Amino acid sequence: MKKLLVVLLALGLIVAFSMTASAADVKFSGQYYVTGQYENNRSFSNADNIATSTADIWQRARVNMAFKVAEGLSFTTQFDALEKMWGNFSQTTSTYFDRSNSRVNTAGIAIQESIEFEQAYVTFDTAVGRFQIGYQDAEQWGTGFANYPNTRPRAMFTMPLGPVFLTAVFEKYAETTNAVAGGLAGAGLKDADGEKYMLNAVYKGKALEAGLLYVYEYSAYTRPLTANGGKAKVSSLSPYMKATFGPVYVEGEVAYAFGNYQEYDVAPAAGDMKATGWGAYLLAKMNLGPAYVGASFGLSTGDDPSTADKYEAGPKSSTQWSPGLLFGDANYRTWIGGSNPGGVNNGASFDSLNKRNIVAYNVFAGFNPTPKLNIDAQIWLLKAETDQLTATTKTVSKSYGTEFDVTATYKIYDNLSYMVGAGYFWTGDYFKGTSDANSVANDYVLLNKLTLNF
């Protein structure tokens, strides 16, 4: 019996010392949405043999799990499931390092159609501040303008100083070591990766929030030893503010890039290419009891192909700033396989995923007949910042067009909403391309969306 007790005690100690630490608490959150959309004439063509219409349904389930291991220590992970178009079975990711964008009508079955883990990072508090290490949210700052929501590997440190928060970030978004199979041009070359270094300060008061972000990006993962290969060393500054003055809410942001967009390995006659792009955004909204009115402005400069020594394109804005249900819908562009609005007349199209080369004016108004129902109407006046289509050609006009949208959103439950909407786009002459003899036609969209947040 004594020997048996000794054996049982030894086994118990082995089990005790081999057990991993268990989480004291687990919190789940996430979102599920399903959207159905019909667009009548995405090519903006008045010729039946070229005009394109689309009708499809897509969905995404996203689950976030936060494991509280100890006070001040947690582990967070996030996955997407059944991220696909209904009935479609051939998707793939758009790039080797970006797991956020699904594509359709391409070869291969992507993991988006089952379960894809997007994030995994540890958060721990210390006496000097908070650390967050691992794959986590990236490219989100300020107002939502110039945001490109993504998941990237990062090391982030945040230090609170009263109402001011100071943050430093290191991000490694492209690695070329042993990456020949991934198709990276810089595989095997010296210093051929992609990295970002960021510093920001944010003030959070009762009626005012303001911040300033500095980013230095070193990008060389596309650098073959050819005339077009090289390194990018680009800096950017992005101040923003959000303020409330009684019934009036105002937010704004500016983004400016500078440095070398391309330092060529074999420099052309024009020499290295400088980054000079910038963007600006402003929104004002007044609440009038159950109603509201407002206006907004957005600008992201376009690149002029005729200036070989400068890259003038402004900041990208994907899903969090959308000028129009139809024209600026980055989600829909992704789900239908990357097709841009327009594009049938001399290549004149608009990249709704990046939304550069745009000047957008907007007025909107809304009304809540009941606490659960919102009706919203918006008008967008849209044009190009530059009409230079190629190095030697220009479009006949800078006008993209005008869009009118109306949506109605009803809260079935506090966490479950259903939206129906419609948008009509009066196509501008920009999409005639380089010849005024080309003709264009208008477009419209009908959609509905069920969204569950938990």
- Measured CA to CA, the distance from residue 429 to residue 441 in angstroms comes to 10
Residue 1: CB partners within 8 Å, gap ≥ 6? none
- Measured CA to CA, the distance from residue 314 to residue 304 in angstroms comes to 11
**pLDDT higher than threshold 50 for residue 10:** no
pLDDT of residue 446: 97
**pLDDT higher than threshold 90 for residue 95:** no
Amino acid at 425: F
Q: Which of 10, 354, 377, 289 has the alpha carbon at shortest distance from 150? A: 354
pLDDT in tens, 231-290: 899 999 999 999 999 999 999 999 999 999 988 877 777 788 999 999 999 999 999 999
* Percent of the chain scoring above 70 in pLDDT: 84
Quick one: average pLDDT of 348-363? 95
Residue 207 main-chain phi, psi, to 5 deg: -120, 5
C-alpha neighbours within 13 Å on the C-beta side of residue 297: 7
**pLDDT higher than threshold 50 for residue 181:** no
pLDDT of residue 2: 45
Residue 54 main-chain phi, psi, to 5 deg: -135, 145
pLDDT of residue 176: 75
pLDDT of residue 14: 40
pLDDT tier at 357, thresholds 50, 70, 90? very high
Lowest mean pLDDT among 40-49, 199-208, 282-291: 40-49
15, 17, 285, 317 from 7: Cα distances, Å: 12, 16, 73, 65
Lowest mean pLDDT among 77-86, 156-165, 171-180: 171-180
**pLDDT higher than threshold 80 for residue 91:** no
Judged by DSSP in three states, 336 sits in coil
pLDDT of residue 178: 62
Quick one: average pLDDT of 356-364? 98
**pLDDT higher than threshold 80 for residue 191:** no
Residue 167 token pair: 């943050």
Output the CA angle 90-93-96, nearest 5 degrees.
140
Quick one: average pLDDT of 7-34? 63
**pLDDT higher than threshold 90 for residue 114:** no
Cα end-to-end distance, the chain, whole Å: 55
Q: How much is the mean pLDDT over the chain?
A: 87
Residues linked to residue 267 through DSSP beta bridges, in sequence order: none
**pLDDT higher than threshold 80 for residue 6:** no
Quick one: average pLDDT of 303-326? 95
DSSP 222-239: T--SSTT-EEEEEEEEEE
Query: Rg of the Cα trace of the chain?
Result: 25
pLDDT tier at 172, thresholds 50, 70, 90? very high
Residue 320 token pair: 């969090």
Q: How many CB atoms lie within 10 A of CB 336?
A: 19
Are the C-beta atoms of residues 84 and 118 closer than 8 Å to each other? no
- Structural domains of the chain, ranges and CATH numbers in brackets: 29-453 (2.40.160.100)
Q: What is the pTM of this model?
A: 0.86
Positive or negative torsion for Cα 326, 331, 332, 333: positive
Of residues 334 and 113, the one with the higher pLDDT is 334
Are the C-beta atoms of residues 54 and 34 closer than 8 Å to each other? no
Quick one: average pLDDT of 105-120? 65
pLDDT of residue 291: 98
